Amino acid sequence: MYSIKTRLLVALSIVLALTTIATGAAMYYSVQREVDRLLDDSLREVALSFDNIRSQDVVQLKRRFGNREQSIVVQIYDPISGTVALSRRMESLPVMDRVGFSDFQLDGKTWRAYTFLNPYGQIVEAAQPRFIRSEIAFQTAKPVLLPLFVMILLVGLVVWVIIGQGFHALNKTTGAIARRSPTSLQPLSMKGMPREIVPLVNALNDLLGQLGESIKAQQRFASDAAHELRTPLTALTLQIQLAERAKTDEARAKAFGRLKDGVKRATRLVTQLLTMARLDPDNRSRPFLPVDMTQLARSVAEDLSPISEQKHIHLWAVSETPTVVVANEDALRLLLTNLCDNALRYTPEGGEIRIETLIKDTEASIRVCDNGPGIPEAERERIFERFYRAEGTKTIPGTGLGLAIVRRVAELHGGKPSISEGIGGKGVCFSIDFPICKAAVEDQPPEADE
């Protein structure tokens, strides 16, 4: 684990330090060059000022120089007599073998010299130690370098404050989350948030919203289970008591038969409740892939054929063209199974149930139509509510959850079930639209199935 703030501060500090060093070095180098140029001009001027010295003047000049402590040392050498006049009491300067500027070592120090041969044959040298130039350059650059270093320190302080202010919003958000109650799932406030952490806060708010929906689904499941299981369990308890009190084998067998039916109804109710609970949480983890609804309709019709044959109901699938949608296949199978199961429960013997898959415009549609008793117009809006059962159907075994599951699956796929008249103007027809998978449709040849 590392700190972004610390990394930023360290990185910026290093950059500022390197910038300061580079700027200071460049500035000092520039001053040093200018000082060298000025002092070179001074050396030349001093040397040229002795252009009228003759051989007989060197001895007098030697006494006149005495022991002057000056930064520039002048040496006049007479090649004829070998006399040397030096402006400072020190070791004689080496006589350069060429005219102009040159550097030489003397007593372990580097000197800069200008050599001049005057018209009378005297070799005039004006020399100066290099370290004096460095001192002059440093003293010249110091008034500029010191404010530069102070300015860099101030910039570093300002950057530290700005970074601290930038992370204040993040720390504020962290504090707000830490102070929250575990049951609080309200979205985090976006007020005063910097643009850079808005995606993070949005992601957190989305997660809180999904968590809230998941908790609501769990609460809804617990509430539904407690509400709906109370009656079946009470009935089972009574049926057990009746079986215990039965005095004849016939009465006992009848009681146990009712008990088995009650267990089946309770089992179906629990299964439906669990199905609803699985559909409610975050379904984005479930893959949406191309699904051939034509094949799926055939498969569901085949699975339910034993029940339809037992009731002498004609259950069949029809398709005018290959119908491929982007969906979760398991959820879609559950939707079709519930619609067909619902139709099988209410369609009388000798009836008909038709599963249609077709394409209209930019959507694929699936329909389950029957010629049963139908649903009154006034009750069609409520038929998809949990545990709601239309008038006149309560004598038929059911949980009131089948169509609620259908609506939930349709919503997960961005659709909404609609109801119209069934086969031959009788019964009911449920329709749900889904997005088409065009690429998959184009790869398949047209076919019809009946």
pLDDT mean by block of 10 residues, the chain; 450 residues: 75 85 87 91 88 68 56 84 80 87 90 90 89 87 82 83 76 74 73 73 81 71 59 70 81 80 71 63 63 88 84 86 81 84 86 88 85 80 68 54 79 83 87 70 43
Alpha-carbon span 85 to 312, nearest angstrom: 139
Count H helices and E strands in the chain, helices first: 10, 12
Rounded Cα distance, 295 and 310, in Å:
24
Using alpha carbons, list the distances in angstroms from residue 216 to 179, 207, 219, 294, 315. 23, 14, 5, 35, 38
Q: What is the pLDDT at residue 444?
A: 45
Tell me the CB-side half-sphere exposure of residue 356, using CA atoms within 13 A.
Answer: 18
Dump strand ranges (E) for 268-381.
289-292, 314-319, 324-327, 352-360, 363-370
Sign of CA dihedral 368, 369, 374, 376: positive
> b or e along 363-379 (b: 16 or more beta carbons within 10 Å of the residue's beta carbon)?
ebbbbbbbbbbbbeeee
Q: Which domains does the chain have, with CATH numbers?
A: 4-147 (3.30.450), 195-279 (1.10.287), 289-442 (3.30.565.10)
Radius of gyration, CA atoms only, the chain: 51
> Whole-angstrom distance between the N-terminal and C-terminal Cα of the chain?
64
In order of 4, 15, 157, 332, 374, the CA distances from 163 in angstroms are: 10, 15, 10, 52, 69
Look at residue 445 in the predicted model and tell me its pLDDT. Answer: 45
Q: Which of 80, 102, 75, 103 is nearest to 91 (CA)?
A: 75
Which pLDDT does position 58 carry in this prediction? 59
Strands (E), 311-417: 314-319, 324-327, 352-360, 363-370
User: Considering only CA atoms, which of 307, 313, 319 is closest in space to residue 357?
Assistant: 319
Strands 324-327 and 289-292: antiparallel
pLDDT for 447: 43
Contacts of 120 (CB under 8 A, 6+ apart): 52, 53, 54, 55
